[in-house]
Amino acid sequence: MAVQSLLRLALSSIVLSCAAVHVRKHDVTEQEGSNAIMMFAHGCSGSSAAVDILRRMLIAHHVSLAATGNDELMKTLKQSTTEERLQTQFWTAWDQSPEEKERVSSVLKAESLKEKFEVLYKAAQKNHSTILFKNELSEGHSDPDAVEYMQKIGTKVLLFLRMNLLDDLSCRVKDFCDKPENEGVGVNVDAKGKELGCAFRGRGEDEKEAMKADTSSVRLNVDKLIETLDNQAYMDGLHSEFLEKMGFANFEIFSAEDLFAFEYGETYASDGFALSTSRWQKLLSHVGVTPDEATVKSVLKAYGTFPAPKTHDQLFWNFHEIVEALRGTEYYDMLRM
């Protein structure tokens, strides 16, 4: 009986281990993670950079990623109408295999976003790979059946937010001042206070270079600043409410400030690298991947550094007016001086 118990225990251990990983050739252990990981965010949170780092983290932890291109998978599925375009967006233009041709063809034939995503998910399952993508509230509202399907298959979800709402407003003016929802928030101005237009600075290396050369600042509309900040906080809250409504009971919130703290060097924040390391480990665990601290640190170091965030007196043209408008409110402590 003792021998049989030991055998059952050994078999159970093997089954549990196989559920978490599968072994590739050359004795490399590959973590399964989840077959789908969704970062839910809005446009000014820094989500493109966050998905980029997460992609590197997953690859470094031997998670096989499905070929779906950049983080804008939902837009890719909606807007791509030819095989050439879709393969370009998937970063698989080089792949002329029958399997890839069939996958792309099936996506194009599918009519709804839900059906297109289902094609990708089943292909990912077949290849033991993980789909990584970001999603936004607007797309969740326009295609709720797709989000329902994502919940049904057990997609791991994290909500990614920028906690400093003043930085959110700066981004909305800097990059998206021509959007109707940003009308009246503020304007870009030059060193003399002359109004400028807005232009998307890009993300990653493009954004890094743009930040180095940028001498403009933002003039916020202080007459409606509290109202604008209240609305920003409300919209962030809607993201949580939507995920709860769609059945994602176990999502977690991760902040840009924590995950990106490593980027600005020890001079800016002496504990920034340690903070980011801890939060990235937590994030990996949340999406079903066993984190290795040394690997996380290696990825963060390789990603490099960015210019430290400007203080708000450098970022905002009418800083002193903003200070007075926020004095005595819950938003005053968000000022970075």
> 211-264, pLDDT tens digit by residue?
555 678 999 999 999 999 999 999 999 999 999 999 998 899 999 999 999 999
Confirm whether 76 is domain-assigned. Answer: no
Full-model pTM: 0.84
Confirm whether 81 is domain-assigned. Answer: no
Q: What is the pLDDT of residue 27?
A: 42
Q: What is the pLDDT of residue 238?
A: 95
Residue 194 main-chain phi, psi, to 5 deg: -75, 135
Torsion 215-221-226-232 (CA) sign: negative
Confirm whether 120 is domain-assigned. Answer: no
**For residues 238 and 251, what is the distance between their CA atoms, to the nearest angstrom?**
14
Confirm whether 323 is domain-assigned. Answer: yes
Confirm whether 13 is domain-assigned. Answer: no
Q: Please identify every stretch of the chain with a pLDDT value under 70, giving residue numbers as ranges.
A: 1-34, 199-214
Confirm whether 206 is domain-assigned. Answer: yes
The secondary structure element, H or E, covering residue 288 is: none
Residue range(s) defining the domain that contains residue 155: 18-65+130-334
User: Residue 58's closest CA among 280, 206, 279, 211?
Assistant: 280
Q: Which residues are CB-neighbours of 200 under 8 A, at least 6 positions away?
A: 175, 176
DSSP state of 65: B
Q: What is the pLDDT of residue 71?
A: 86
User: Residue 225's closest CA among 189, 185, 187?
Assistant: 185
Confirm whether 110 is domain-assigned. Answer: no
Number of domains in the chain: 1
Q: What is the pLDDT of residue 196?
A: 85
**For residues 300 and 50, what is the distance between their CA atoms, to the nearest angstrom?**
11
Could you read off the pLDDT of 158-174 as tens digits, one per residue? 999 999 999 999 999 98
Amino acid identity of 66? A
Confirm whether 147 is domain-assigned. Answer: yes
